[in-house]
Amino acid sequence: MTRLSVFLLTTALLIAIAGCSAPKAELYDGPIVGELQSGWDDGDASFDHGIYEELLKAHVDSESGRVRLHR
């Protein structure tokens, strides 16, 4: 390998390692933070997806699971 190749590979590796060392996410203060935290702590909260039922029926083929193109 040439020196340039070694340099480029080393640089790419260092950039990849640096990109993976992001700081830990933190919660912001706000009115919803308490509700979110209690939901995480309980672990039994759910989201009602029923409102999307008509949208999915209109635009997704249930047999193939693919989106229908409407032109």
Does the reported pTM lie above 0.75? no
What's the pLDDT at 8?
93
The answer on pLDDT for 3 being more than 70 is yes
The answer on pLDDT for 9 being more than 90 is yes
The answer on pLDDT for 71 being more than 70 is no
In this predicted model, what pLDDT tens digit does every residue of 11-43 receive, in sequence order? 998 888 877 777 777 767 887 888 877 777 877
CA atoms of 69 and 60, how far apart (whole Å): 9
Pair 36, 28: CB distance under 8 Å: no
Q: Between 30 and 1, whose confidence is greater?
A: 30
φ, ψ of residue 67 in degrees (nearest 5): -75, 135
